[in-house]
């Protein structure tokens, strides 16, 4: 019998969080290889879409961005809406050091 047996593992702590399994890792590597080979074709297709339909061009870019740009996550408000904002600035353009504020 090879290995530690059914239900047991050589790593009792398991795979570290965020570490992809072997299949996922290989699939991502293949995807990157394919996309690297298609960069020029993608650029040409986007150029053609931009010339024919600017709205569709922007929609296409937006769809591509989700694979390359990280999504923004609100880490400051705990999901609560911020309703009261106070802005303070110092006016030094004309030598006046007075402070002004708005809400």
pLDDT value, residue 3: 67
Q: Is residue 80 part of a domain?
A: no
pLDDT one-digit tens code per residue, 6-65: 767 777 777 777 777 889 889 989 988 998 899 899 999 999 999 999 999 999 998 888
Question: How many structural domains are present in the chain?
Answer: 1
Pick the residue with more confidence: 18 or 4? 18
Q: Angle formed by the axes of helices 54-68 and 22-52, to 10°?
A: 160
Q: Is residue 77 part of a domain?
A: no
Q: Is residue 55 part of a domain?
A: yes
The domain of 51 spans 21-71
Q: Is residue 6 part of a domain?
A: no
pLDDT value, residue 99: 54
pLDDT value, residue 65: 86
Please give the Cα distance from 31 to 20 (Å, whole number).
15
Q: Is residue 97 part of a domain?
A: no
Q: Is residue 84 part of a domain?
A: no
Q: Is residue 43 part of a domain?
A: yes
pLDDT value, residue 93: 63
What are the CA-CA distances from residue 30 to residues 22, 54, 70, 73 (Å)?
Answer: 12, 31, 21, 28
Contact 10, 4 (CB under 8 A): yes
Q: Is residue 25 part of a domain?
A: yes
């Amino acid at each position: 019998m090879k290995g530690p047996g059914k239900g047991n593992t050589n790593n009792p702590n398991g795979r570290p969080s965020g570490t992809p399994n072997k299949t996922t890792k290989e699939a991502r590597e293949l995807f990157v290889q394919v996309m690297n080979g298609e960069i020029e074709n993608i650029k040409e297709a986007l150029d053609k879409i931009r010339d024919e339909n600017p709205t569709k061009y922007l929609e296409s870019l937006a769809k591509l961005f989700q694979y390359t740009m990280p999504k923004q996550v609100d880490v400051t408000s705990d999901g609560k809406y911020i309703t009261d904002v106070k802005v303070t600035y110092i006016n030094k353009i004309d030598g006046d050091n007075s402070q002004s504020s708005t809400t």
